[in-house]
Amino acid sequence: MGGVQMESGVSKARQGNFFEDFWLGQIIEHATPRTVTAGDVSLYTALYGSRFAVQSSDAFARAIGYPQSPIDDLLVFHIVFGKTVPDISLNAIANLGYADCRFLKPVFPGDTLSATSEVIGLRENSNKQSGVVYVRTTGVDQDGAPVLDYVRWVMVRKRDEAAATHAAHVPQLKEVVEPAALGAALPNLDSRAYYAALSGSSYRWGDYEVGEKIDHLDGMTIEEAEHQLATRLYQNTAKVHFNQHQQVQGRFGRRLIYT
Amino acid sequence: MGGVQMESGVSKARQGNFFEDFWLGQIIEHATPRTVTAGDVSLYTALYGSRFAVQSSDAFARAIGYPQSPIDDLLVFHIVFGKTVPDISLNAIANLGYADCRFLKPVFPGDTLSATSEVIGLRENSNKQSGVVYVRTTGVDQDGAPVLDYVRWVMVRKRDEAAATHAAHVPQLKEVVEPAALGAALPNLDSRAYYAALSGSSYRWGDYEVGEKIDHLDGMTIEEAEHQLATRLYQNTAKVHFNQHQQVQGRFGRRLIYT
Amino acid sequence: MGGVQMESGVSKARQGNFFEDFWLGQIIEHATPRTVTAGDVSLYTALYGSRFAVQSSDAFARAIGYPQSPIDDLLVFHIVFGKTVPDISLNAIANLGYADCRFLKPVFPGDTLSATSEVIGLRENSNKQSGVVYVRTTGVDQDGAPVLDYVRWVMVRKRDEAAATHAAHVPQLKEVVEPAALGAALPNLDSRAYYAALSGSSYRWGDYEVGEKIDHLDGMTIEEAEHQLATRLYQNTAKVHFNQHQQVQGRFGRRLIYT
């Protein structure tokens, strides 16, 4: 567990890891396991307005083979991701990318999620002020079963420009996630029981083509209160999302929305 | 299920039904069944500040004969109503009225609601640009038991002014909902166990008179984030509530609050 | 139950108690019992971003001896406090202080909280326009077991400056809550099972010193929607938090944040 620094005046406050604090092969066990509940699902619906029948209705989910509605994959992602922030990206300049993201097991209300990351790549920037950290993060449930696995790379500030850092190592990342690597842990779904009228769309996998454009028409104007509620729900502590008085002096002049 | 249009550039995006798409006697099964949970109740409380003892306390509800706190009737209404929006009122100009609204069965956390509407009236406006659609909407639980029934009429745009429409039919609507038609499915409540001090008011049915005025004193200033959270919680997709950049060019110059 | 006034024009609206309505030894049973749920916990997390492992994870809580995650003490406080507002402080000018606050029993989702206050002190201000009311408030669960007990004093307006009030009585309040008076009802916790890496901090009781300063670094800009959601979640009816159009004419020119 990184990020606890002792310095005069800030004492026990967490300052997070800087680029030179990471090393290749480092395993970080992230804090704050979280039991996901129906309350989280309601807030997620109120924040995003999602309307997937499987995630919205226990009855619909049971009809096709789930024991009840699973938690929306992206809510699982945000909760697992949030745990990594205090250790990985409290001093981040920018999120650069994600790869090989796979949801490995459905999550249900009452499951407890926790997360671990392994540092799989490091590359200092030529200006010596920052570097790119590559981590593979795994979210597990209360039984230790993986529910989510993904690679993320992020640019992180150095605490001290003069600090020595390790030799650069940029990992090979998959260009494509193979279908065989996805959803192995899904229940055996009965697609005949998937009732299109209740789902809100008659389109199926075979109806979409590579390169097809869909104009979703609707837009939503996001309020500060909304993105702050979401970010705190995920227990994501990144400062850029919360303090207008500080951000007004920053690069963008305002709070960034976590998405 | 109406509202899916195929057009160049917007392809699979739902555009909703226009006035000429409805016909008398049409039955529309609405999408997105929804399991109502304690999370929805908490958000509803946080959005409205409601303080009805029966809906707030399982212990209070049990004392008078409920198995637990029922879901607030208006939350049931909003969830059922929300399902009708993509099919009935995505192209609405204005909601005009409601009639014969009856809550037929208590709803509890864990129940799944879905909705069906029947078109019971149609009347084109003389300007040929829009018309009034009358629907009777029924919300049912996972067993198909009706929990809510109401009539709504709404002015809906035509897609094409030249489109022919059906002969006008304006339904006969009840002026009054008879007490005998209300609450038949309520549990047998023990009014002696209704503890006035905990309810917050000593007034009972017999204490109110027709024409009596009550000044509720308190007011609340509603924020954009609040009405958007509510509207999304109900999975209501009406565009007028969400997109400030679009609404600024509209009739009111701002987002409308769904109430 | 105080606060219901009959006056022309406002009829049945609750106006709350004024200073002259209180008497020493008065017991007030507050309205609106409330079943606390996982939904309340999610909203509390989304509003505050709290990251206490015991309250966040059922698995973590069980490992150290709880049956499941308890409700955050401060959420219990806010809910109990909210019930007292319509009777005690609807006409308050200012909250002055709290003393002897003790959390006496863990609260879990599904428990129902209600509250009673005893007036333990009264002192009219020399301007005859207001006075200070001291109450001891006790929150109990559905079995009547106390979960929270605290003293609060608050300055409350008089309805009528000429009204006679009782002799002043200022209660003796404890300067310090003795450790022996705290947490008697806590489960027998197994501190060896408290896993520091998941808790997010390696610091324990013995690591803190009286007078130590901790700069928490992070700040959050609070939006109107956020404090209003919190205050309504607690069913707190104090007008100063909600009506911008009224508050703009008041002492501060804006809504006050309930904290």
**B27-54 pLDDT tens trace:** 999 999 999 999 999 999 999 999 999 9
What's the pLDDT at A242?
A: 84
Which of B14, B228, B243 comes nearest A226 by C-beta? Answer: B228
What token pair was written down for C170? 């200022």
φ/ψ (deg, to 5) at A253:
80, 0
Q: What is the rounded CA–CA span in Å between residue B23 and residue B133?
A: 9
| Alpha-carbon distance A46 to nearest alpha carbon in chain B (angstroms) | 4
Q: Which of A12, A223, A235 sits opposite C51 (nearest CB)?
A: A235
Residues in chain B with CB shorter than 8 Å from the CB of A43 are 39, 43
pTM: 0.93
Q: H or E segment at A98?
A: strand A92-103
Least confident of A210-219, B75-84, C133-142, C154-163: A210-219
Binned at pLDDT 50, 70 and 90, residue C127 comes out as very high
| B13, B32, B112: residue with CB nearest A214 | B13
Q: Return the residue in C6, C17, C26, C40 with the most chain B beta carbons within 10 A, the one to mutate for interface testing.
A: C40
Q: Say which residue, C104 or A7, is predicted with more confidence.
A: C104
For residue C232, the chain B residues in CB contact (below 8 A) are 45-49
- B233 and A46: CB-CB below 8 Å? yes
pLDDT digits (tens, 9 = 90+) for C57-100: 999 999 999 999 999 999 999 999 999 999 999 999 999 999 99
Average pLDDT, chain C: 91
Would you call C32 and B69 a contact, using CB atoms and an 8 Å cutoff? no
Q: What pLDDT shows up at residue A183?
A: 67
Q: Residue C228 contacts by C-beta under 8 Å, 6 or more apart in sequence?
A: B220, B223, B226, C241, C242, C255
Closest C-alpha to C100, from C6, C13, C173: C173
Structure tokens at C31: 């309205």
Nearest CB to C59: which of A39, A142, A245?
Answer: A142
- Cite the DSSP H helix spans in C120-223: 196-199
Residue B200 has pLDDT above 70, yes or no: yes
Lowest mean pLDDT: which of A181-195, B27-41, C22-36? A181-195
* Contact flag C59-A35 (C-beta cutoff 8 Å): yes
Closest Cα in chain A, distance from residue B210 (Å): 38
Please report residues of C whose CB lies closer than 8 A to that of B257: none
Cβ-contact A62, B117 below 8 angstroms: no
Residue B148 has pLDDT above 90, yes or no: yes
Distance between CA atoms of residues A222 and A216, nearest Å: 17
Find chain B residues with C-beta within 8 A of A40's C-beta. Answer: 39
% of chain B beyond a pLDDT of 70: 95
Structure tokens at B57: 């306390």
Mutate to test the interface with B, among A48, A208, A220 (most CBs of B within 10 A): A220
Q: Confidence class of residue C9 from pLDDT cuts 50, 70 and 90?
A: very low
CA atoms within 13 A on the CB side of A118: 7
Q: Give the pLDDT confidence score for residue B5 in this predicted structure.
A: 42
DSSP-derived secondary structure for chain B: ---B---TTTTT-B----GGG--TT-EEEPS--EE--HHHHHHHHHHH----HHHH-HHHHHHHT-SSPPPPHHHHHHHHHHHHHHHHTTTEEEEEEEEEEEE-S---TT-EEEEEEEEEEEEE-TTSSEEEEEEEEEEE-TTS-EEEEEEEEEEEE-S-TT---PPPB-----SS--GGGS-TTS----GGG--HHHHT----GGG--TT---------PPPHHHHHHHHHHTT---GGGT-HHHHTTSSSSSPPPP-
Measured between CB atoms, which of B33, B86, B243 is closest to A53? B33
Q: How confident is the model at residue C255 (pLDDT cuts 50, 70, 90)?
A: confident
Cβ-contact C237, C86 below 8 angstroms: yes
| Range from A64-78, C146-160, C201-215 carrying the lowest mean pLDDT | C201-215
Question: What was the pLDDT predicted at A109?
Answer: 98
B10·A198 Cβ contact <8 A: no
User: Are the beta carbons of A31 and C49 separated by less than 8 Å?
Assistant: no
> Per residue in C207-238, is it b (16+ CB within 10 Å) or e — as a string?
eeeeeeeeeeeeebebbbbbbbbbbbbbbbbb
The beta-carbon neighbor of A217 closest among B10, B34, B229 is: B10
Interchain proximity C42–A142, CB inside 8 Å: no
When pLDDT is averaged across residues B82-92 and rounded to a whole number, the result is: 96
DSSP secondary structure, C78-135, as one string: HHHHHHHHHHHTTTEEEEEEEEEEEE-S---TT-EEEEEEEEEEEEE-TTSSEEEEEE
pLDDT at C183: 67
Backbone angles phi, psi at C154, to 5 degrees: -150, 140
pLDDT band at residue B26 using 50, 70 and 90 as cut-offs = very high
Per-residue tokens: C184? 């008697």
Cβ of C218 within 8 Å of Cβ of A242? The answer is yes
Give the minimum alpha-carbon distance from C205 to chain B in angstroms, rounded to a whole number: 35
Q: Is there a contact between A12 and C221 if contact means CB atoms under 8 Å apart?
A: no
Q: Where are the alpha helices (DSSP H) in chain C?
A: 38-48, 53-56, 58-64, 73-88, 196-199, 224-233, 244-247
Q: Over the stretch A101-110, which tens digit does the pLDDT of each residue have? A: 999 999 999 9
pLDDT at position A154 is 97
Task: Kindly identify which residue of chain B lies nearest to residue C112, measuring between CA atoms.
Answer: B57
Q: Which has the closest alpha carbon to A26: A152, A153, A120?
A: A120
**pLDDT surpasses 70 at B8:** no
Give the pLDDT of residue B244.
Answer: 83
Q: Best residue in C50, C64, C198, C257 to probe A by mutation, most A CBs within 10 Å?
A: C198
How does residue A8 score in pLDDT terms, banded at 50, 70 and 90?
A: very low
Query: pLDDT tens for residues A60-76?
Result: 999 999 999 999 999 99
pLDDT confidence tier of residue C258, bands split at 50, 70 and 90 = confident
Q: How far is CA B168 from the centre of its chain?
A: 25
The Cα of B248 is separated from the nearest Cα of chain A by a number of Å equal to: 12
Give the DSSP letter of residue A233. Answer: H
Contacts of B12 in chain A (CB under 8 A): 201, 203, 207, 214
Rounded Cα distance between C103 and A222, Å, is: 38
Residue C1 pLDDT grade (very low, low, confident, very high; cuts 50, 70, 90): very low
The type of residue at B224 is E
Residue to test with chain A: of C58, C195, C207, C231, most A Cβ within 10 A: C58
B139 pLDDT more than 50: yes
Crossing angle of helices C38-48 and A38-48, in 10° steps, is 50
**Any residues with CB less than 8 A from the CB of A67 and at least 6 apart, and which?**
A61, A108, A187
- Give the bridge partners for B116, in sequence order: B29, B138
User: What is residue B183's predicted lDDT score, i.e. its pLDDT?
Assistant: 66
Question: C242–B219: do the CB atoms touch at under 8 Å?
Answer: yes
Report whether pLDDT(C235) > 90: yes
A127 burial (CB, 10 Å; 0-12 / 13-18 / 19+) is: exposed
Greater model confidence, A33 or A249: A33
> Which chains, if any, share at least 3 CB pairs under 8 A with chain C?
A, B
Q: Map residue C140 onto helix, strand or coil.
A: strand
Of the candidates B41, B57, B218, the beta carbon closest to that of C239 is on B218
Over 80: is that where the pLDDT of B184 sits?
Answer: no
- The distance of B95 to chain C (nearest Cα, Å) reads 27
Record: contact C38-B41, CB cut-off 8 A? no
Q: Distance (Å, rounded) from C-alpha A215 to C-alpha C36?
A: 42
Identify the weakest region by mean pLDDT among A68-77, B236-245, C47-56.
Answer: B236-245
Of A207 and B9, the structure prediction assigns the larger pLDDT to A207
In this model, does residue B182 exceed pLDDT 90?
no
Query: Mean pLDDT score of chain B, rounded to an integer?
Result: 91
Chain-chain contact of A197 with B15 (C-beta, under 8 angstroms): no
Give the tokens for residue B165.
């429409």
Instruction: Determine whether the interchain pair B12/A219 forms a contact, defined as Cβ–Cβ distance below 8 Å.
Output: no
